[in-house]
Chain A
Amino acid sequence: MSGPSGDKLIYVDMTDQSVEIRDFPEEWKLLGGRGLSAKILLAECDPTCDALGPDNVLVMAPGVLAGTAAPTSGRLSVGGKSPLTGGIKEANTGGQPGQHLAKLGYRGIVVKGQPADADKRYAIEVNAEGVQVVAADDHKGKWNYALCMDLHGQYPKTASFITCGPAGEMQLTGASVATTDQDNRYPARHAARGGLGAVMGSKGLKYVAVDPGKASVRQAADREKFGELCKEYTKGYLAGPQMFKTGTSSVVPVANMLHTFPYKNRVEGQSPDASTLEGARINESFETRGGQMHNCMTGCIVKCSNIVHDAEGEYKTSALEFETLTLLGANCAVASWEDVADMDRLCDEVGLDTIETGGAIAVLMDAGQMEWGDADAMRKLIAEIPEGTDRGTAIGNGAVATGKFTGHHRVPEARGQAIPAWDPRPLKATGVCYCTSAMGADHTAGLIVNPGLAPDQFAWEAQKVQLLNAVCDTSGFCQFLQPSLDDIRAFFGALYGEEVTREAIHDQGWQCLEDEWEFNRKAGFTAADDKMADCLGQDAVGAEGAKVVFDVPDDIIQAVFKRMPAQEDLFTAKASG
């Protein structure tokens, strides 16, 4: 036996709503998720196209290991040309659709074209009987939670959904793509970064329904070895410190200590409100309000996702993450995690990236057009985005658009994308990732939390972590499981019954980065774009007497684009994002 076989790719042309099922190329068997998306986009999408026009291509692809028994391996990559950055984009999400697509033998959905009538809405239905495009006009304009409530009544209980909120329908460039999670089937997981929700909206695609029915787990070629790997890896993980079992929100105090918990549009690296924003407060609320930690997808052993309840004990949102607490909290001088939870729910409802939205509102506040810390005004602002007000539209289009709207010059961004919590001033090597990743300022493409790293190590560390994360996002493993390249190639090898060498896995990661960089070069990006916003090179953060700016020389940044010989740690380092 040679492992999973007979896999297919779904091609949908939204111009005439036609569907074509193609055989998945045998030579691509170790390509999934981000790597597959990059391969398809480079070959089939004109990099100079209008990201919101018919020539853009939207890819939704589970990782190689999705649908198998490998722990925490069902991640879904959403890819396309980003309307926010103008470059290639992959945004990664948990939830059930990745697992369900893979169990049905579909390695991806490739959506092309655009309906002639922009007012029409459609859905793609995927199940054991096949694939079809159906009208979805009845769901036009619905917020994500209301949409999913209705879809749960419309489809079998086994179905999961990929949805587009009103921000995506309005083609706002901060729009996310939502996926439903395991326990409560809410649209609480998001492929958030880069405005891919707007691409989905531009194609008139309101949702994708994936019903696996009784589809079974994908079986490996070497079942015994694959089973042993799953058992050993799970046992090892559970015997370890399980650093994420209280949620990513528990990172707040460490980040604050390291001056990477930005305050007031990053004029400071620490917030005076860290103690009221940190995850411990959220976890304390479980006792009196309910709520809990859970896994967002079948087979997850990390369980980093919190379910947050309101004061009445009713479900409010999930998951309230470190990045959201930072960008919609500290960075806007909001002091209460409960206020941030409200805004997280609103962003999930409207279908917005919480990082981009928080970055945009902080620019608005910095421009003097909203009071710092005014959570009521923020709630109203996010809720008005679907109404299409000028101010709401600017916020929905992200931090750079908000800078233009307000005339405010201080916009912390790289490649047009708001900087995540992890700040490139104390964490300069992470800044090198932001400058060199085709994804722009996206910590999931490369995160190096090592403030003591010597500058001569920046280029190698940035290349290493970007390559590792590219392979991780190709595999379907969650970055929080922290697999190494050696771990991933062992699973790949057992899945297909063949050895995957260190050289082969190194090549795969490098090829993914090369494909993405090549797409951006063809889109018109040059070395002049490999830079950080001026304000981060001018405004220092850090302890008194040790304040830092982002001042990494260009030669170090450009060195990342040249493949370096593999060092041992390339294969043993753990993914992080």
Chain B
Amino acid sequence: MPTVLIPPPYRGPTQGTGEVEVEGGDVLGSLEDVDRKFPGFLAQVVNEDGAVLPFVKLFKNGDQLDVAEALRTPVGGDDEIEVLAAIAGG
């Protein structure tokens, strides 16, 4: 099954869980799957208009997805979807 990899900063809603198996379909469907299991997760990735938040980057099997197409990207098999957000002090 496809898997969504959750970065540490986004593990509040998932209560520490870092990997969630999903049904797949496309990236948005996969993220919605995670949100059904762990409510509050999707709002960290997608805004109210359904667009990826500007500070979030999405990867499929290690390749960064284009922002405009990311949510509609097909997901299946053993695909890994990774969510990343910059964290640093400075």
Interface residues of A, Cβ cutoff 8 Å to B: 241, 243-244, 246-251, 253-254, 257-258, 280, 304, 319, 321-324, 420-422, 426, 443-444, 447-454, 457, 479-480, 576-577
Contact = CB atoms under 8 A, between A and B. Distances in A.
Contacts of A576: 87-88
Contacts of A422: 89
Contacts of B54: 253, 280
A258 B84 CA distance: 14
A319 B14 CA distance: 35
B9 interface: yes
B29 to A, nearest CB: 23
A247 B16 CA distance: 27
Nearest to B84: A241
B64 interface: yes
B81 to A, nearest CB: 14
A241 B64 contact: yes
Contacts of B84: 241, 243
A450 B9 contact: yes
Interface residues of B, number: 23
Interface string B61-90: 000100000000000000000001111111
Contact of A453 (B16, B53, B59): B16
Contact of A258 (B9, B14, B57, B59): B9
Contacts of A257: 44
18 contacts: A241-B59, A241-B64, A243-B88, A244-B86, A250-B55, A250-B86, A251-B55, A253-B53, A253-B54, A258-B9, A321-B89, A323-B90, A422-B89, A447-B89, A449-B9, A453-B16, A454-B15, A576-B88
Contacts of A450: 8-9, 11, 16
B88 A452 contact: no
Nearest to B64: A241
A452 B55 contact: no
A452 B15 contact: yes
| Interface residue SS majority, chain B | loop
B16 to A, nearest CB: 4
Given A250-B55, A253-B55, A280-B54, A451 B9 contact: yes
B2 interface: no
A304 to B, nearest CB: 7
B16 A454 contact: yes
B12 A323 contact: no
B44 A322 contact: no
A480 B86 CA distance: 11
B86 to A, nearest CB: 4
A529 to B, nearest CB: 23
A443 B89 contact: yes
Given A251-B88, A254-B85, A452-B8, 15 more contacts: A243-B57, A247-B90, A248-B90, A249-B90, A250-B55, A251-B90, A323-B89, A324-B90, A443-B89, A451-B9, A451-B11, A451-B12, A452-B12, A452-B13, A452-B15
Contact of B89 (A254, A280, A444): A444
Interface centre among A421, A422, A444, A453 (most CB of B within 10 A): A453
A321 B54 CA distance: 19
A448 B16 CA distance: 12
B56 to A, nearest CB: 8
B11 A480 contact: no
A243 B86 contact: yes
Contact of B87 (A254, A426, A444): A254
A479 B15 CA distance: 27
A321 B90 CA distance: 5
Nearest to B55: A253
A304 B90 contact: yes
B88 A248 contact: yes
A420 B12 CA distance: 21
A449 B53 contact: no
Contact of B55 (A254, A444, A449, A451): A254
A321 B55 CA distance: 16
B11 A322 contact: no
Nearest to B82: A241
**Nearest 6 Cβ contacts at the A-B interface:** A248-B90, A321-B90, A452-B11, A451-B12, A450-B8, A243-B86
Contacts of A253: 53-55
A426 B10 CA distance: 12
Given A451-B11, A452-B12, A322 B57 contact: no
Contacts of A421: 89
Nearest to B8: A450
Nearest to A321: B90
A322 B88 contact: yes
Nearest to A244: B88
B90 A254 contact: no
Contacts of B90: 247-249, 251, 304, 319, 321-324
Interface centre among B11, B17, B53, B90 (most CB of A within 10 A): B90
